[in-house]
Amino acid sequence: MKKLITVFLLFFSIFTAFSQQSGILNGIVLDKATQTFLKDINVKILGTGLTAKTKEDGSFRIAGIPLGTYSVEFTSALYQKFIQSDVVISTGIERELIIELQGVQTEEVVIEDSRFQKPSDVTTSFKSLTFEEIRRFPGGLEDIGRVIQSLPGISLTSDGRNDLLVRGGSPAENLFVVDGFEVNNINHFGSQGATGGPVSILNLDFVRNVNFLTGGFSAKYGDKLSSVVEIQQRAGNSEKFFGKINLSGTGFGANFEGPITKKINQAGWYLPAEATLI
């Protein structure tokens, strides 16, 4: 009986491996200035012949993508070309992008790198980090604070904590904003007078991108002196249920997400749960 079960599991694993050799990319394209949905935007996965156009609600979906890392190009006659790099396509989870395009300006010609975008209200010291950049950072442990510690002008307090000392300032002088809401500390085991800790409480799988500002803050960020860490999270999967269990050197957890209604591209939910071993 044990041999029969072993053979069955072996054949099931082989069948699963061969049946999941492609992934899916979906997302939404918005106007950067008005935050309205954009239709008829050309979406192209560079290095492949796969393309798509956005619908009335700004959404797009490309299926049957070979597994790997790609750059995705967004073009339109009315908007500046934008290339999103480091888009990883894997099995089991649909990669989601939320892209904001800048309208074409006819009064002047501006030549700039199209791979990175900068907020219009920020004039100095700005760094944007995507989900993939944080996940693949060597020694970052999928921790936002530890990745930011590697940027120029940032000092460490100790190897066991991710406190940010920005240009000689205090760890208490940093502001964290998660989806527009101010959060005093985004880490486990935070101490008084600091905004760091041994490990982050945020699940990186649901982080869309992180903006790090070290000067020239807009008035909306208040009176913080050292830096602003603005974190934007993604929405849950609006098409199908998905679950993931992970184990790392600092803890373990599970993620679950799925659609709220049966209608595609309506709304989704996600439920992360994790525990630290520290």
Q: What is the mean pLDDT of the chain?
A: 81
Residue 8 is assigned to a structural domain of this protein: no
Do 169 and 265 sit in the same domain of this protein?
A: no
**pLDDT tens-place string over residues 28-56:** 999 988 888 999 999 999 999 899 999 99
pTM of the model: 0.61
* Confidence bin at 7 (pLDDT 50/70/90): very low
Instruction: List, in sequence order, every beta strand (DSSP E) within the chain.
Output: 22-31, 42-45, 51-53, 59-66, 68-76, 79-89, 95-101, 126-130, 154-155, 165-166, 174-178, 181-183, 187-188, 199-200, 207-213, 227-233, 242-247, 251-259, 268-276
Do 201 and 248 sit in the same domain of this protein?
A: no
CATH classification at residue 123: 2.170.130.10
Do 256 and 178 sit in the same domain of this protein?
A: no
d(CA 82, CA 99): 9
**pLDDT at position 14, please?**
44
The domain tally of the chain equals: 3
CA 254 to chain centre: 18
**What is the H or E stretch that residue 15 is in?**
helix 2-19
Do 226 and 124 sit in the same domain of this protein?
A: yes
Do 61 and 25 sit in the same domain of this protein?
A: yes
d(CA 25, CA 158): 39
Show the domain range for 173: 118-234
Do 167 and 68 sit in the same domain of this protein?
A: no
Residue 184 is assigned to a structural domain of this protein: yes
